């Protein structure tokens, strides 16, 4: 798939502190790319450099093959929330669509469609200050997609949303990608990222830690874990081959396995006397990989997968 956005060697310092140390990645047409990392890793700074809110000291931001970014082809949900206060929802959205040169009648139709979709029907003449925080966020999200952008950049789109609204956002983001929009999003909600992203770029202290597709990242970093329900002695479980560590609470034991375990062969090594009411085998989650990175168990040498 063609690259819509290409970031090449971004570097940025604030005074004497370098917060981006050569960031490079691509966002392709029709994909959802997640930019992840602990607090202060440099995600928002990367996004702000893409958006031209600030300029990099080194490196390039390329949209298709051009370095001048056509703002009307980009949709942006900033980390900072809040639109104007004493303005009606419809007026605000039409104003923002007009700034992007989007036709008024088409904008009106899309506004009504999305207000309905986001459970905000009847709110078009309500002042923004009368809306709840989550409702305001929905309006801001609508403003970022109203003009049918080719590239959509969402900084923490799920923060502050209830689970139902998170699902609505998630579905819409997936819909937009299916229709060809290139999407770059940052989020700390690993479960949601795991559900929707195609590829991810994990960074720490301004540097790349992992870059690849979700499948590649999981295969490379997410070892298997085996969960057994049944009463068993901790020492018996620890003695099983290729078990790194065991977590036990009451009758449930989780056996974290070494890398490259082949499940079907490993099952054959289980002792006959184990008490098994239920057994599941799956890989550790993106959340657990993230925690391993933040705590230094996965370091920068890990490098790039087949991005």
Ligand X SMILES: Nc1ncnc2c1ncn2[C@@H]1O[C@H](COP(=O)(O)OP(=O)(O)OP(=O)(O)O)[C@@H](O)[C@H]1O
End-to-end, the C-alpha distance of the chain in Å comes to: 12
CB distance 243 to 256 below 8 Å: yes
Tell which one of 2, 39, 125, 264 touches ligand X (CB under 6 A). 39
CB of 297 to ligand X, least distance (A): 20
In sequence order, the 6+-apart residues with CB closer than 8 A to the CB of 53 are: none
Stretch that binds ligand X, among 33-41, 130-138, 167-175, 253-261 (CB under 6 A): 33-41
- Give the span between the Cα atoms of 98 and 82, in whole angstroms: 19
In this complex, which beta carbon is closest to ligand X, that of residue 40 or of residue 70?
40
Tell which one of 4, 32, 43, 144 touches ligand X (CB under 6 A). 43
Q: At which residue do the structure tokens 């078990």 appear?
A: 243
Stretch that binds ligand X, among 36-44, 83-91, 125-133, 233-241 (CB under 6 A): 36-44
In sequence order, the 6+-apart residues with CB closer than 8 A to the CB of 109 are: none
In sequence order, the 6+-apart residues with CB closer than 8 A to the CB of 79 are: 44, 47, 155, 156, 186
Quote the tokens at residue 280: 């599941």
Quote the tokens at residue 253: 């034991």
Give the Cβ contact number of residue 61 at 10 Å. Answer: 20
Tell which one of 1, 9, 40, 164 touches ligand X (CB under 6 A). 40
CB of 173 to ligand X, least distance (A): 19
Tell which one of 10, 28, 34, 45 touches ligand X (CB under 6 A). 45
In this complex, which beta carbon is closest to ligand X, that of residue 140 or of residue 253?
140
The reply on whether position 190 binds ligand X by CB under 6 A is: no
In this complex, which beta carbon is closest to ligand X, that of residue 42 or of residue 75?
42
In this complex, which beta carbon is closest to ligand X, that of residue 48 or of residue 225?
48
Stretch that binds ligand X, among 38-46, 130-138, 189-197, 287-295 (CB under 6 A): 38-46
The reply on whether position 212 binds ligand X by CB under 6 A is: no
The reply on whether position 14 binds ligand X by CB under 6 A is: yes
CB of 151 to ligand X, least distance (A): 19
The reply on whether position 41 binds ligand X by CB under 6 A is: yes
The reply on whether position 44 binds ligand X by CB under 6 A is: yes
The reply on whether position 42 binds ligand X by CB under 6 A is: yes
In the chain the beta strands, taken as DSSP E runs, fall at 3-14, 17-28, 32-36, 58-63, 74-77, 151-155, 182-186, 199-204, 207-213, 224-229, 243-249, 252-257, 278-283
Give the footprint of ligand X on this chain (CB under 6 A): 14, 19, 37, 39-45
């Amino acid at each position: 798939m063609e690259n819509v956005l290409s970031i090449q060697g971004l570097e940025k310092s604030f005074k004497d502190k370098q917060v981006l140390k050569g960031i490079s990645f691509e966002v392709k047409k029709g994909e959802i790319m997640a930019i992840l990392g602990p607090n202060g890793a440099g995600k928002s700074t990367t996004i702000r450099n893409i958006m031209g809110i600030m300029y990099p000291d080194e490196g390039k931001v390329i949209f298709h093959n051009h370095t001048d970014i056509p703002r009307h082809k980009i949709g942006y949900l900033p980390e900072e929330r809040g639109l104007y206060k004493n303005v009606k929802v419809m007026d605000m959205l039409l104003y923002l669509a007009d700034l992007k040169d989007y036709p008024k009648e088409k904008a009106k139709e899309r506004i009504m469609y999305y207000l309905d979709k986001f459970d905000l029907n009847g709110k078009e003449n309500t002042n923004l200050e009368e809306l709840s925080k989550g409702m305001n966020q929905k309006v801001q999200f609508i403003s970022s997609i109203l003009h049918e952008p080719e590239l959509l950049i969402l900084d923490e789109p799920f923060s502050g949303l209830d689970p139902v609204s998170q699902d609505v956002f998630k579905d819409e983001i997936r819909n937009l990608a299916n229709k060809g929009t290139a999407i770059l999003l940052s989020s700390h909600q690993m479960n949601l990222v795991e559900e929707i992203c195609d590829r991810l770029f994990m960074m720490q202290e301004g540097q790349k830690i992992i870059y690849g597709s979700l499948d590649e990242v999981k295969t490379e970093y997410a070892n298997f874990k085996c969960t057994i329900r049944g009463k068993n002695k901790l020492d018996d479980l620890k003695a099983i081959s290729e078990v790194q560590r065991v977590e036990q609470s009451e009758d449930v034991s989780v056996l974290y396995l070494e890398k490259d375990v082949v499940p079907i062969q490993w099952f054959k090594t289980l002792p006959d006397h184990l008490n098994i009411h239920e057994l599941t085998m799956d890989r550790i989650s993106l959340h657990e990989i993230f925690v391993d990175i933040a705590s230094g168990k996965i370091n920068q040498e890990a490098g790039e997968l087949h991005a």
